[in-house]
Structure 1
Amino acid sequence: MELQTKFQGLVEVCEKDKITFQNGIPGFPEEEEFFILPVGDDEVFLTMQSAKSQELAFIIINPFHYFPQYDFELDQQVIEKLEIEAPEDILVLNIITIHDPFEQSTANLRAPLIINKKRNHGKQVVLNNEHFTTRHKIMG
């Protein structure tokens, strides 16, 4: 199927790749379906594009690329809600805010996106960890 996106124009996506956030994500409760798309040939930055709203897209990263020590435990309630059966089913991503200059860009480590790769269910989880903020610099 074709999807009109905020950053990449019209792209071809597979329905089976759609990630469902049962209650949306914080601030966007009505936005329940997203596609994760590459940003050009770059494998570090991705776009999480709403399936419903062309203008709603987030730049996301795999946090372990920038923050190898990033570690937290998921609540059992999240594991059950996403139907996670094994650790390898989990994909962790974080929304970033791009700043100018780029070196000032930040990642939201306080509220990671947790995705069950097998079932394509997702949830943004707010962590109760004072070491993580919504504005961790990704450079330096």
Structure 2
Amino acid sequence: MKIDTKYHGEIEVNQEETLIFEQGIPGFIEEKRFIMLPLPENEWFQILQSTKTPQLGFVVTDPFIFLKEYDFVLEQGSVDLLENPSDKEVKVFSILNIKEPLHLSTANLQAPIIINLSNNKAKQVILNNTTYQTKHLIFVQPEDTDKKG
């Protein structure tokens, strides 16, 4: 099927790769179908693109690339909605807020996107009782050049 996209223009996508967000995404509850697209010349970031709304595309990444100790437990309701995937069937992404300069970019670690790879069901979950933030810096910050060592 052909879709219009925010970053890639009009493209052909495989309908079998469509991710189904049965409850939408918080703030976009009418948006139920997305496709994951590569971000050209960047292996760390991808675009979570709505198949319905061309201008709705989120830059996402695997949060474990930037924060190895990232860890959380899904509530049973979310596990049930995703149809009880095994650990090997789950992929986690975080929505990014890309800034200039790039090292100021942040990831929403408080609301990860969980995908069941076996059936393409997906859900953005809100983690409660956590210290994770919605604007977590993803890059190690440069040393202050005025500091004396």
**TM-score (structure 2 length as normaliser):** 0.91
Partners of 2:85 and 2:118 within 8 A in 1: no
Q: 1 CA distance for matches of 2:85 and 2:48?
A: 24
* 1:1-140 aligned within 5 A: 1-140=1-140
SS at match of 1:77: helix
Runs of at least 4 residues off by over 6 Å:
none
Partners of 1:47 and 1:57 within 8 A in 2: yes
Write the letter of the residue equivalent to 1:5: T
Larger Rg, first or second structure (1 or 2):
2
1:70 CA drift (Å)? 0.4
- Which range moves more in the overlay, 104-113 or 34-43? 34-43
Q: What's the CA shift string for 1:29-51, capped at 9, x where partnerless?
A: 10000000000132210000001
Partners of 1:84 and 1:90 within 8 A in 2: no
Q: What's the CA shift string for 1:54-98, capped at 9, x where partnerless?
A: 000000000011111100111111111110231111110000001
Q: 1 CA distance for matches of 2:93 and 2:18?
A: 15
SS at match of 1:11: strand
**TM-score (structure 1 length as normaliser):** 0.96
- Which range moves more in the overlay, 77-86 or 26-35? 77-86
Q: 1 CA distance for matches of 2:115 and 2:85?
A: 12
Partners of 1:110 and 1:129 within 8 A in 2: no
Write the letter of the residue equivalent to 1:19: L
Aligned length: 140
1:23 CA drift (Å)? 1.3
Percent identical among aligned pairs is 41
Q: 2 CA distance for matches of 1:126 and 1:21?
A: 14
SS at match of 2:78: helix
- Over aligned residue pairs, what C-alpha RMSD do you find? 0.9
Q: 1 CA distance for matches of 2:88 and 2:41?
A: 25
SS at match of 2:139: coil
Q: What's the CA shift string for 1:82-122, capped at 9, x where partnerless?
A: 10231111110000001111110000000000111111001
Write the letter of the residue equivalent to 1:84: N
Listed as ranges, the gaps of 5+ residues in structure 2 are: 141-149
Listed as ranges, the gaps of 5+ residues in structure 1 are: none
